[in-house]
């Protein structure tokens, strides 16, 4: 891993000397010059955007069920203005009672 070590050394030296780690310009924005700062920034922004979309996809089913008055857990009809069906409502209230007893 000689190349890796060498790169690390260059990286550290640049950082210490205030040189952009991507090129040899002055690092005016943290470890990067303005140009590379923008590039890095855009890249990390893109990653955050992807993460958000992934989370959104996962959250989509429960939201849909909630809108239709269905149980978040199984999709059956929710009761008593809650987000869960009678069966799941009972499971949760039982669990709540148990937890309350334990304390
Ligand atoms: Zn640069
Ligand atoms: Zn249910």
Q: 12-51 pLDDT, tens per residue? A: 999 999 999 999 999 999 889 999 999 988 888 777 777 7
Same domain? 75 vs 53: no
The span from the CA of 88 to the CA of 82, in Å, is 10
39 CA distance to ligand 2 centroid (A)? 47
Residue 50 Cα to ligand 1 middle (Å)? 25
| Shared domain check, 45 and 21 | yes
Closest ligand relative to 35 C-alpha: 1
23 CA → ligand 2 middle, Å: 57
Domain, as residue range, for 88: 68-103
Q: How deeply is 31 buried, as exposed, middle or buried, from its count of CB atoms within 10 A (0-12, 13-18, 19+)?
A: middle
For residue 19, list its beta bridge partners. Answer: 26
Q: What is the pLDDT of residues 64-93, one digit of tens each?
A: 666 678 888 898 999 988 889 999 999 988
Are 34 and 40 in contact by the 8 Å Cβ rule? The answer is: no
Residues 22 and 47 both lie in one domain:
yes
Interval between CA 33 and ligand 1 midpoint (Å): 4
- What spacing in Å lies between the alpha carbon of 3 and ligand 2's midpoint? 57
Same domain, 31 and 2: yes
Q: What is the pLDDT of residue 102?
A: 65
Same structural domain, 54 and 78 = no
**Structure tokens, 29:** 């924005």
Nearest Cα neighbor of 70 from 92, 91, 89, 56 is 89
pTM: 0.42
Number of H helices, E strands in the chain: 3, 0
Is the residue at 16 inside a domain?
A: yes
Residue 45 has what pLDDT? 79
Residue 97 alpha carbon to ligand 2 centre in Å: 19
């Amino acid at each position: 891993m000689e190349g890796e070590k060498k790169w690390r050394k260059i990286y550290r030296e640049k950082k210490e000397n205030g040189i952009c780690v991507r090129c040899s310009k002055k690092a005016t924005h943290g470890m990067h010059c303005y140009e590379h700062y923008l590039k890095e920034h855009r890249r990390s922004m893109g990653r955050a955007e992807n993460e958000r979309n992934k989370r959104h996809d996962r959250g989509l089913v429960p939201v849909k069920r909630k809108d239709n008055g269905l149980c978040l857990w199984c999709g059956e009809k929710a009761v008593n203005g809650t987000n869960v069906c009678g069966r799941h409502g009972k499971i949760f209230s039982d669990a709540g009672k148990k937890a309350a007893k334990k304390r």
